[in-house]
């Protein structure tokens, strides 16, 4: 059957239209007789979705298998290890903070992947049917991310290790216990040099820690409060009944509690060293 020029054009339009309706890949002829690269034509609302696997309730995955997976009995490719025993840094601190949220870790965060962190990761993995390696791999991390929220500053530095803010200008001369309520830290400074830094907590709303410049007027190694009948080891008094001292409660509960106005230290070893160095008459600066 012969067709006219107009008939051939109509057939071409019909074929192109069918290709568009089918969402096909078509090749358009170039002016030089060569083909351009395939052009994918999408219909409105035609948003591609990821392939669904039997685990999602869909059909077989169409994603190409890694090399070797097409062989019978091939071992699965292990997940990539992100952090493990001995690693340090802010990422490890976040891992620990998230493990605390799901009650698998109760100490820290410290920023060091230590033995308690390894045990916590292993327990978390075993509870969810993952290999109990104790190493934080990509699969374990993604599961933990889905179960927890983004930790804030105080989550990351809950039990100490909070970076100290720059010291108050009043702390830059002489021997000073420089106490910062914002970063919740105490710097022991001598002539502008920081000798040591430790985490501290303060009084509650009803009994706030006083702010200002004071001096140490009395030291009492094994002091017991006559007002509250509670131990105040390594007490260094600077304002009325307020002192810098070791607090077993702070060591046990962290920032969940508060003092009656004193500056609590949770690290007994650190305050023992501080107590040995501080003298009566040394300056104390408490600021925001």
Instruction: Give the end-to-end CA distance of the chain in Å, rounded to a whole number.
Output: 95
Angle, vertex CA 184, rays to CA 181 and CA 185, nearest 5? 110
Residue with the two structure tokens 């298998």: 65
Identify which of 249, 248, 246, 251 has the alpha carbon closest to the alpha carbon of residue 263: 246
Write out the residue limits of the CATH 1.10.101.10 domain(s) in the chain.
81-156
**Which residue do the tokens 């060569």 mark?**
34
pLDDT digits (tens, 9 = 90+) for 204-261: 888 999 999 999 999 999 999 988 888 999 999 999 999 999 999 888 877 778 899 9
* Rounded Cα distance, 272 and 222, in Å: 11
Helix (H, G, I), strand (E, B) or coil at 157: coil
**Residues 159-189: pLDDT tens digits?**
555 567 789 999 999 999 999 998 889 999 9
Rg (CA), the chain: 33
What integer pLDDT is reported at residue 182 of this predicted model?
86
Positive or negative, the Cα torsion across 65, 68, 74, 79?
A: negative
pTM of the model: 0.50
Long-range contacts of 86-91 (CB under 8 A, 24+ apart): 86/113, 87/112, 87/113, 88/112, 88/113, 90/156
Greatest mean pLDDT among 3-12, 33-42, 220-229 lies in 220-229
Find where tokens 């001598």 sit.
Answer: 190
Of the candidate CATH numbers 3.40.50.150, 1.10.357.10, 1.10.101.10, 3.40.30.10, the domain formed by 81-156 belongs to 1.10.101.10
Higher-pLDDT residue of 103, 22 = 103
Q: How far apart are CA 185 and CA 201, in angstroms?
A: 8
Nearest-angstrom CA–CA distance, 89 and 112: 7
Alpha-carbon gap, residue 251 to 152, rounded angstroms: 21
Secondary structure (3-state) at 104? coil
Q: Which CATH architecture has domain 169-287?
A: Beta Barrel (2.40)
What does DSSP assign to residue 158?
A: T
- Tell me the two tokens of residue 84: 């493990």
Residues in the chain: 288
Output the six-digit token pair for 8: 């051939």
- Distance (Å, whole) CA 63 – CA 153: 40
In the chain, ranges of CATH 2.40.440.10 domains: 169-287
């Amino acid at each position: 059957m012969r067709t006219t020029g107009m008939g051939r054009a109509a057939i071409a339009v019909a074929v192109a239209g069918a290709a568009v309706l089918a969402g096909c890949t078509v090749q358009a002829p170039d002016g030089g007789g060569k083909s351009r690269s395939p052009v994918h034509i999408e219909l409105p609302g035609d948003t591609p979705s990821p392939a669904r696997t039997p685990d999602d309730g869909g059909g077989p995955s169409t994603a190409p298998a890694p090399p070797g997976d097409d062989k019978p009995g091939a071992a699965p490719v292990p997940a990539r290890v992100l952090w493990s025993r001995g690693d340090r840094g802010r990422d490890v601190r976040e891992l620990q903070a998230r493990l605390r949220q799901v009650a698998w870790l109760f100490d820290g965060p410290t920023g060091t992947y230590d033995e308690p962190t390894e045990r916590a990761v292993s327990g978390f993995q075993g509870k969810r049917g993952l290999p109990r390696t104790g190493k934080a791999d990509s699969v374990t991390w993604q599961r933990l991310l889905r179960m927890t929220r983004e930790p804030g500053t105080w989550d990351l530095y809950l039990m100490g290790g909070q970076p100290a803010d720059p010291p108050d200008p009043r702390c830059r001369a002489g021997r000073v216990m420089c106490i910062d309520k914002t970063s919740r830290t105490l710097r022991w400074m001598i002539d502008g040099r920081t000798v040591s830094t430790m985490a501290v907590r303060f009084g509650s709303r009803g009994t706030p820690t006083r702010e200002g410049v004071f001096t140490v007027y009395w030291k009492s190694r094994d002091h017991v409060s006559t007002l509250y009948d509670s131990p105040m080891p390594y007490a260094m008094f600077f304002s009325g009944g307020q002192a810098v001292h070791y607090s077993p409660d702070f060591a046990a509960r962290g920032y969940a509690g508060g003092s009656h106005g004193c500056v609590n230290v949770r690290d007994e070893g650190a305050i023992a060293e501080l107590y040995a160095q501080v003298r009566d008459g040394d300056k104390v600066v408490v600021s925001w």
